[in-house]
Amino acid sequence: MELRLYDTLTREKRLFAPLDRNHVRMYVCGPTVYDFAHIGNARPVIVFDVLFRLLRHLYGADHVTYIRNITDVDDKINDRAVRDFPGLPLNEAIRKVTEKTAAQFHADVAALGCRTPSYEPRATDFVLPRADGKADMVTLIKQLIARGHAYEANGEVLFDTQSMPDYGALSGRKLEEQRAGARVAVDAHKKNAADFVLWKQSSAAEPGWESPWGRGRPGWHIECSAMSAAYLGDVFDIHGGGLDLIFPHHENEIAQSRCAHGTKTMANYWMHNGFLEVEGQKMSKSLGNFVTIRDLLDVIPGDVVRLQMLMTHYRRPIDWTERSTSLATSELEEWAESLHSHFNFPNEHKPAEVAEALSDDLNTSAAIAVLRELHVAAKKGGLKEKLVFSSNCKLLGFKSLHKPGLFRFGVSGMNVGDVAIGTYEPLIKKLRAAIANDAPNDVRAAILSKFQKDGLTVQESNNGDLTIVRGNEADANRKIQELVDARLAARNAKNFKESDRIRDELAALGIVLKDGKDANGKLSTTWEVAR
Ligand code: AMP
Ligand code: ZN
């Protein structure tokens, strides 16, 4: 199978060939950890997770190295640390902010079904020269100065954009244009308006590291040049991120890495995901349509976010709407309905069908169309078709398709008397999401305690169906089991009038029975809550 990828630098779709035939190396810019990630941030995480999965499928799980960094040095982090932990020394406060935010990010992206990258380096571990000799920012900056690509001015170290003849190739910006555009804003100490900071001084109230240029901190772009070189070498295969990073971030990464290492390229394929908007508008705090991943995962399963994200080609803009969330939820319910008990069956099928669609520049929307066809076949067909569908769903990273109940709308109750169960719909929705997203126990307990206050509890079936029941779940189960046993005894005694009466009594409680035979050929009955 041939993989083609669109490269932002050469502006063409090209056949993908890794530098090392047997090993693919990919770097994607990760989050700046000062606050909850928003759903726009989830897009590159999901898109490049799908690419990671595809590469693992094509080259073998041990033949792909995927690096996604954590930016834990940034002025926004400092501001947050001062605001949230006023009593603590700055470094401690910063660590609290970054550790808490990184943990939130990890929980969020795990719920979205994303595999952990091979390594997730933190910028602060790569500022100074390291004991293990891996690339670091201070050494890179020294190299840039030694090669005549950087200079010190006004306490800063700046990259000299004019020292690089093809600076601007990625974004297509010419240096002359940038100079004209920035006429007014030119800082007096810069040689050229486009020159950018590699190192800046820190005041006593800012985090800093001792360097040949005094106590200071790195600029943002140099982080990724150092961390990519540290794990992937001077030149590697794929570099990714959102569209907004093309300029200045990736443009400047290329300038730094190529000039420091004296190479013609930094990465062979530059991939950028399109932007996400909410209900047709740019997402922003002032418009009030700023949605965090956590807000969404509180009420919908991660698989829904994933499907909604992948329905659009990764390079096109996405309009995130409530309607598309509902459509994705219903579609997943149908898929899970066809798969449930087969989803986690031992499955030897290699998901070539979705891989083929993805091999055309990670065409995620075509891959979803393939899943829809495979679903039709699975519904009509037998075990084989179900396993084909299931393995292809897994290649795209769906994980909860053994539980259709988690994608349902509405609520059902059993033996709840005149309780208006409709009023519990928002709580049931949260509980479904908490189960699907593997929320911590205290989150589930908090939801369940609201039912308990009303003398109710919630029962979960293997299918992920949730049913509100009166009283204690154990009592309810015991009562049902007693009735089921009594009916079986009546059947064994050929007292069919009594066995029918009990079946009707159970039906009134919302229980359906499945009669069969056990391994010894004896009559046996299982039960489940009717939907
Ligand atoms: P940031 O933390 O802002 O540097 O962003 C982390 C990643 O999310 C980068 O790859 C950004 O390009 C990407 N990103 C930020 N906002 C959006 C958005 N609205 N749509 C898609 N990607 C985004
Ligand atoms: Zn970066």
Q: Go through 344-374 and write b for each residue having 16 or more CB atoms within 10 A of its CB, e for each that does not.
A: eeeeeeebebbbebbbebbbbebbbebbeeb
Does 240 sit in the ligand 1 pocket, CB within 6 Å? no
> What pLDDT is attached to residue 154?
92
Rounded Cα distance, 215 and 205, in Å: 12
Rounded Cα distance, 214 and 220, in Å: 18
Ligand nearest to the CA of residue 319, numbered in listed order = 1
| Residue 183 pLDDT grade (very low, low, confident, very high; cuts 50, 70, 90) | very low
Q: pLDDT tens across 269-300, in order?
A: 999 999 999 999 988 878 888 899 999 999 99
User: Which residue minimizes the CA distance to atom 7 of ligand 1?
Assistant: 41
Distance 232 CA to ligand 2 centre (A): 14
8 Å CB contact between 412 and 460? no
Q: Which of 109, 244, 320 to mutate to test the pocket of ligand 1 (most atoms within 8 A of CB)?
A: 244
Q: Across all residues in the chain, what is the average pLDDT?
A: 93
Q: pLDDT tens across 358-378, in order?
A: 999 999 999 999 999 999 999
Q: pLDDT tens across 259-269, in order?
A: 999 999 999 99
**Residue 355 pLDDT > 50, yes or no?**
yes
8 Å CB contact between 405 and 522? no
Averaged pLDDT for residues 68-91: 93
Contacting residues for 182 by C-beta, under 8 A, at least 6 apart: 193, 194
Averaged pLDDT for residues 329-334: 98
Averaged pLDDT for residues 23-47: 96
Q: Which of 35, 38, 43 to mutate to test the pocket of ligand 1 (most atoms within 8 A of CB)?
A: 43
Residue that has been written with the tokens 């726009």 in this structure: 40
**Residue 525 pLDDT > 50, yes or no?**
yes
Q: What are the chain's domains?
A: 4-276 (3.40.50.620), 319-404 (1.20.120), 410-531 (no CATH)
Rounded Cα distance, 241 and 44, in Å: 6
**Residue 186 pLDDT > 80, yes or no?**
no
199 phi, psi to nearest 5 deg? -150, 135
Distance 137 CA to ligand 2 centre (A): 13
Helix (H) or strand (E) holding 14: strand 12-15
Q: pLDDT tens across 410-429, in order?
A: 999 987 888 899 999 999 99
> What pLDDT is attached to residue 508?
76
User: CA-based Rg of the chain, rounded to a whole angstrom?
Assistant: 28
Averaged pLDDT for residues 129-157: 97
Distance 221 CA to ligand 2 centre (A): 6
Distance 227 CA to ligand 1 centre (A): 19
